Chains A and B, each alone.
Chain A
Amino acid sequence: DQQVKQNSPSLSVQEGRISILNCDYTNSMFDYFLWYKKYPAEGPTFLISISSIKDKNEDGRFTVFLNKSAKHLSLHIVPSQPGDSAVYFCAASRNNNDMRFGAGTRLTVKP
């Protein structure tokens, strides 16, 4: 069973607006969550992470929110820029091990 799910395969937003990428997980033992950005024929590039002891982590235009009770996390990008267009993967790990990836969401930011 997919333990980490990204139910939206694609998302399109206008430049300057907010992009919200969502991710759900099923395993309550996950204690560390990450977002990656990926271009074709490259490995996913780490973007931002959050520990399960927090509910928010912010880094510039990127903010990750964690709702443990709902087993849900989201990545907010504001303002969105055309260079943000890529596939975004969320991932979850347990004890810094056993990382599981979601299937990814393709974000397109239109100028």
Chain B
Amino acid sequence: EPEVTQTPSHQVTQMGQEVILRCVPISNHLYFYWYRQILGQKVEFLVSFYNNEISEKSEIFDDQFSVERPDGSNFTLKIRSTKLEDSAMYFCASSAGALQETQYFGPGTRLLVL
């Protein structure tokens, strides 16, 4: 059964550095999402992406964040200048269609900003 994959599983970075989190959604899915969960807190929606455009984003998704689908298979989340408070688990998800709200989640990338 197909699954969403994410790399790396863990990343440690220095404050102010750029990080790119990578996701490979399920191949025939059209909608892609990023979520994050700060340790001990709720899972927060960051952004949804369709047809090479952001379709929705939360107030968390400010100018330091960007998403890209560079090659038709990867879906990336870039954080330009990481802050301590960016430390969290970042989940990617994909779905076949926006109305079909069942989403397949990846296993997450744990980001630690020092």
Chain A positions within 8 Å of B, measured between CB atoms, are: 1-2, 6, 9, 36, 38, 40-46, 87, 89, 98-101, 103-106
**Which 7 residue pairs of A and B lie closest in terms of their CB atoms, listed nearest first?**
A101-B105, A43-B43, A104-B102, A43-B45, A43-B44, A103-B102, A87-B101
Chain A residues, CB < 8 A from B105: 89, 100-101, 103
Within 8 A of A (CB), among B71-114: 89, 91, 93, 100-105, 107-108
Q: Are B102 and A87 in contact (CB under 8 A)?
A: yes
CA distance A104 to B103 in the complex (A): 7
Residues of B within 8 A of A2 (CB): 1, 3, 104
Collect the chain A residues with CB atoms within 8 Å of residue B100's CB: 9
Instruction: Verify B102–A106 contact, CB threshold 8 A.
Output: yes
Name the residue on B nearest A45 (C-beta).
Answer: B42
Residues in B with CB closer than 8 Å to A1 are 1, 3
CA of A7 to CA of B64, assembled, Å: 38
> With contacts defined as CB atoms under 8 Å apart, how many contacts are there between chain A and chain B in the complex?
54
Determine whether the beta carbon of B45 is less than 8 Å from that of A42: yes
Would you give the shortest CB distance from A90 to chain B, in whole angstroms?
Answer: 11
CA distance A98 to B100 in the complex (A): 26
Scan residues 33-49 of chain B and give those whose CB is less than 8 A from a CB of chain A.
Answer: 35, 37, 42-45, 48
The answer to whether B107 and A100 have CB atoms under 8 Å apart is yes
Which A residues are in CB contact (< 8 Å) with B101? 38, 40, 87, 104, 106
Bound CA span A59–B58, Å: 30
Nearest A residue to B102, CB-CB: A104
Chain B residues with Cβ under 8 A from A45's Cβ? 42-43
A6 to B37 CA separation, bound complex (whole angstroms): 22
For B18, list chain A residues within 8 Å (CB).
none
Is the Cβ of A41 less than 8 Å from the Cβ of B56?
yes
Tell me the B50-71 residues at the A interface (CB within 8 Å).
Answer: 56, 58
CA distance A1 to B2 in the complex (A): 7
- CB < 8 Å: which of A9, A38, A99 contacts B108? A99
